Amino acid sequence: MKITIIGVGLIGGSMALDLKKRGFTTKVFGVDNCTNNLQKAKQIGFIDDIKTLEEGVNLADIVILAVPVDAAIKILPKILDKLNNQIVIDVCSVKKSLIDSVKNHKKRKQYVACHPMAGTEFFGPEAAVSELFDNKVNIICNREENCQEAIEKTEKLFTCLKMKLIYMNGEKHDKHVAYVSHISHISSFALAITVLDVEKEEKQIFNLASGGFDSTVRLAKSSKNMWSPIFQNNSENILEVLDNYIFQLEKIKSSIKNNNNSEIIEFIEKANQIKKII
């Protein structure tokens, strides 16, 4: 099995590392618009050869599209144009706009819309790590629009990565991830800006930051090139989440302002219910 990774960063690189290590693939080709990233990926060892887009697609059995969603929307139709019997899998965090971009393409059945729910705040080829996906969830969207062979190959690939597979409509996916993923990044970005605006001394922030602050603001280190397109392409769902989130913030703000301890306790107790789930 030969694989081409388009976008040799954290997700694409981490997939390549384990797919090679676990024997799923005998050869991994790398495609990226950044020559420096390709050289680093080859030096690290998770790609074997550097190829152009056309070469990469032609040589692969499976193409993995691991670029920001705005770039994926532009590239995906071009990949489908070049396909023979290969399949292409994307790993973007937004699905509906990407699926819609090729809904009338004659080779749509060979494209499988996926979202492996794993990652870190780091990016680039050096961020790639083994076992990133172990025991995490991969979402396959709109599988009824795929041919059976494409689904079977995709399931084998993510099973090799030791991921749990769930199936979902693309629209529902985008709504759910806005609540459980995208809002977390917005909150982290906002908290980081709030602290940086008030605490002007970097040393003071470092000295006083506790574990709680560090874990909450960790996502603020994430890539602007990935997250700006996510916010744009899932804006309707994210705005809905923000309205609900701001409503909850206003509630606790009012309780604190009015020194209403019973409301504060109720607020915290309600939030504590998340322990039953996570």
Query: Is pLDDT at 247 greater than 90 in this prediction?
Result: yes
DSSP 3-state of 188: helix
Least confident range from 139-148, 212-221, 255-264: namely: 212-221
Kindly state the tokens that stand for 274: 């998340």
Report the phi/psi class of residue 7: left, alpha or beta, with left for phi > 0 and alpha for psi in -120 to 50: left
Whether 78 and 31 map to the same domain: the answer is: yes
Residues above pLDDT 70, as percent of the chain? 96
- Tally of domains in the chain: 2
Residues in the chain: 278
- How many Cα atoms within 13 Å fall on the side-chain side of residue 65? 28
- Taking only the tens place, the pLDDT of each residue in 147-205 is 999 999 999 999 999 999 999 999 999 999 999 999 999 999 999 998 888 777 677 67
Q: Indicate the DSSP class of residue 138.
A: E
pLDDT in tens, 50-100: 999 999 999 999 999 999 999 999 999 999 999 999 999 999 999 999 999
Alpha helices (H) along the chain: 10-21, 35-44, 53-59, 69-82, 96-101, 148-160, 170-177, 183-198, 202-208, 211-217, 224-233, 235-257, 261-272
Quick one: tokens of 52? 């152009």
Beta-carbon contacts of 117 under 8 Å, excluding residues fewer than 6 positions away, are 136, 137, 138, 139, 181
Its pTM surpasses 0.85: yes
Give the count of alpha carbons within 13 A of 95, CB side only.
27
Residue appearing with tokens 């899998």? 89
Q: Are residues 59 and 139 in the same domain?
A: yes
Q: Which domain covers residue 252, as residue numbers?
A: 173-276
**CATH number for the domain harbouring residue 247:** 1.10.3660.10
Q: Which domain-ending residue is among 152, 168, 184?
A: 168
- State which of 143, 168, 193 marks the end of a domain: 168
Q: Residues 218, 244: one domain?
A: yes
Q: Parallel, antiparallel, or unpaired for β 111-116 and 137-141?
A: antiparallel
80 contacts 110 by C-beta, under 8 angstroms: yes
Q: Are residues 70 and 134 in the same domain?
A: yes
At residue 197, what are phi and psi to the nearest 5 degrees?
-70, -30
Give the 3-state secondary structure of residue 17: helix
If asked whether residues 75 and 146 sit together in one domain, one would say yes
Give residue 208's pLDDT. Answer: 67
Tens digit of each residue's pLDDT (9 = 90 or more) over 102-138: 999 999 999 999 999 999 989 999 999 999 999 999 9
pLDDT at residue 216, as a whole number: 82
User: Which pLDDT score, from 0 to 100, does residue 212 have?
Assistant: 74
Specify whether 114 is located in the same domain as 182: no
* CATH number assigned to the domain comprising residue 126: 3.40.50.720
* Sign, Cα dihedral of 170, 168, 63, 184: positive
Same domain (yes/no): 214, 196: yes
Tokens 């940086």, residue located = 196
Q: According to the model, what pLDDT value does residue 274 have?
A: 87
Vertex 71 angle, CA 46 and 177, to 5°: 85
